[in-house]
Structure 1
Amino acid sequence: MYRALATTVLVLHFAFLAYVILGGFVAWRWPKAFWPHLAAAAWGLAVVSIPLTCPLTYVEHWARRRAGEAGVGRGFIDQYIEGVLYPERYTHLLQVMVGVLVVGSYVGVYVGYRKRRDTKRGTEKMSEPPATV
């Protein structure tokens, strides 16, 4: 049971990380998704900038210990991402690239917002009755 919980938390962690990296692009289609993504991106930035441990990491380590496994002792990114998906020496470069990707997605959200706003204003002007003299 605890091993299944640890695995579930691990999957949730990967999903959250994917959302932090790519969730800004979801807001291109669904603009209301911007605010939840901004909160997730801020948390992601805080975790890599400040020595914070994600609550999901605590839950995963707890479940692993309860399942009789050794507690991992390292954070999620340190354990499952660095040195596994890419060499550890590229960590800073990839953090910068993720930051650029997130900011780029936000630029797209802003451009889409402006287009919708301008289109809405244009439609309102067209539906107004002509001014009489």
Structure 2
Amino acid sequence: MGYRLLGEAAMLLHFAFLAYVTLGGLLAWRWPALLWPHALVAAYALAITLVGWDCPLTHVEDWARVRAGQAGLPPEGFIEHYLTGVIYPAEHLLTAQLAVAAAVAASWAGAAVLAARRRARRRARGGTGPRWPGAVKERRRSR
């Protein structure tokens, strides 16, 4: 039972990782400091895709499922098993990868535009003062 739960947890964590790679840059629109962690995760995902590194979550899930008496993941891995041919047709793998890359690029471009707007507003206010939302209210309350 424990191995099965570990396999399921690894699968869910893997899906969460893929969702964060794809959409995590949008979090930086609200919280700009999250752009750097997302950049690291996206770079790691890109390296897995281009270099062919193995994802440790795939190994954990496969190991746990085999120990639980279930079929392990196929040699092709997590993406091939759960997504390719299920979410999108197998012949559109490259299209799916490019769509994820476009989503990441668009989210970063949006984060850059919002950061430029924030800088322009700070300059218009005189260039001083707090950099985070709500800090002006906090400063007014403390007076």
Q: Return the alpha-carbon distance in structure 2 between the equivalents of residues 125 and 35 of structure 1.
A: 24
- Please report the TM-score for the alignment, with normalisation by the length of structure 1: 0.90
Matched with 1:89 is 91
Report the alpha carbon displacement of residue 126 of structure 1 after superposing the two structures with TM: 9.3
Aligned length: 127
State the AA in 2 paired with 1:61.
D
Deviations 1:47-106 (A, max 9, x none): 111111101111111111111223213311111010010101011111112111110111
Matched with 1:4 is 5
1:100 to 84, 99, 102: 102
Counterparts in 2 of 1:125 and 1:55: CA distance versus 1, 3 Å: closer
Matched with 1:131 is none
- Please report the TM-score for the alignment, with normalisation by the length of structure 2: 0.84
Bigger mean CA deviation after superposition, 67-76 or 1-10 = 67-76
Q: Return the alpha-carbon distance in structure 1 between the equivalents of residues 30 and 46 of structure 2.
A: 24
Structure 1 outlier segments of 4+, above 6 Å? none
RMSD between aligned alpha carbons? 1.6
Matched with 1:29 is 30
State the AA in 1 paired with 2:59.
Y
State the AA in 1 paired with 2:98.
V
Q: Return the alpha-carbon distance in structure 1 between the equivalents of residues 61 and 52 of structure 2.
A: 18
Matched with 1:75 is 77
State the AA in 2 paired with 1:88.
A
Unpaired stretches in structure 1, ≥5 consecutive residues: 128-133
Counterparts in 2 of 1:30 and 1:65: CA distance versus 1, 3 Å: same
Q: Percent identity?
A: 46
Q: Return the alpha-carbon distance in structure 2 between the equivalents of residues 101 and 70 of structure 1.
A: 33
Matched with 1:130 is none
Q: Return the alpha-carbon distance in structure 2 between the equivalents of residues 91 and 125 of structure 1.
A: 47
Unpaired stretches in structure 2, ≥5 consecutive residues: 130-143
